[in-house]
Chain A
Amino acid sequence: MTPTLAGLPLTAVVPPLAAINWHSFFFLLFASIACGFAVAVVTATNVVRMALYLVLSLAATAGLFLLAGAEFVGAMQLMIYVGGTLVLLVFGVMLTAQAPFVSIATSGGDRVLAGVVGAALLGALLMAGLSVPAWRAPASGKLAEPAATPLGMALVGVRVDEPAANAPEKAVRPGYLLPFEIISIHLLVVLVGAAYLARAKRRKTPRAIDVAASVEPPASVAEHAAIGRGPAGAGSVLAGGPALTGGPR
Chain B
Amino acid sequence: MIGSLAIPPLFGLLITEPVSVAHYLVVGAIMFTAGVACMATKRNALGVLMGIELVLNGANVNFVAFASPYLAGEGARSLGLDGQAIAVFVIVLAAAEAAVALAITLNFYNNHATVDVDRADDLKG
Residues of A within 8 A of B (CB): 5-8, 12-15, 19-21, 23-25, 27-28, 31, 34-35, 38-39, 41-42, 47, 50-51, 54, 57-58, 61, 64-65, 68-70, 72-73, 76-77, 80-81, 84-85, 88-89, 91-93, 95-96, 101, 104-106, 110-111, 114-115, 117-118, 121-122, 125-126, 129-130, 132, 134-144, 147, 150-151, 154-155, 159, 161, 164-166, 176, 179, 183, 186-187, 190-191, 193-195, 197-198, 201, 207-209, 212
Chain A interface, >50% SS class? helix
> Are A101 and B64 in contact, CB atoms less than 8 angstroms apart?
no
> Are B25 and A176 in contact, CB atoms less than 8 angstroms apart?
no
Chain A, residue nearest B31 (CB): A38
Report chain A residues within 8 Å CB of B29.
122, 125-126, 129
> Are A65 and B64 in contact, CB atoms less than 8 angstroms apart?
yes
Contacts A50-B50, A85-B94 given; indicate if A19 touches B18 (C-beta within 8 A). Answer: no
Report chain A residues within 8 Å CB of B123.
none
> Are A106 and B43 in contact, CB atoms less than 8 angstroms apart?
yes
Closest 10 CB pairs between A and B? A137-B73, A129-B25, A125-B29, A197-B103, A198-B103, A38-B34, A209-B113, A190-B96, A68-B68, A13-B8
CB distance from A24 to the nearest CB of B (A): 5
CB distance from B89 to the nearest CB of A (A): 6
> Are A121 and B95 in contact, CB atoms less than 8 angstroms apart?
no
Chain A, residue nearest B106 (CB): A198
Task: Give me 15 other A-B pairs in contact (C-beta within 8 A), A179-B85, A190-B97 excluded.
Answer: A8-B8, A31-B27, A68-B67, A68-B71, A70-B67, A81-B53, A93-B46, A95-B109, A129-B28, A137-B74, A140-B69, A187-B92, A198-B102, A207-B113, A209-B113
Report chain B residues within 8 Å CB of A58.
53, 57
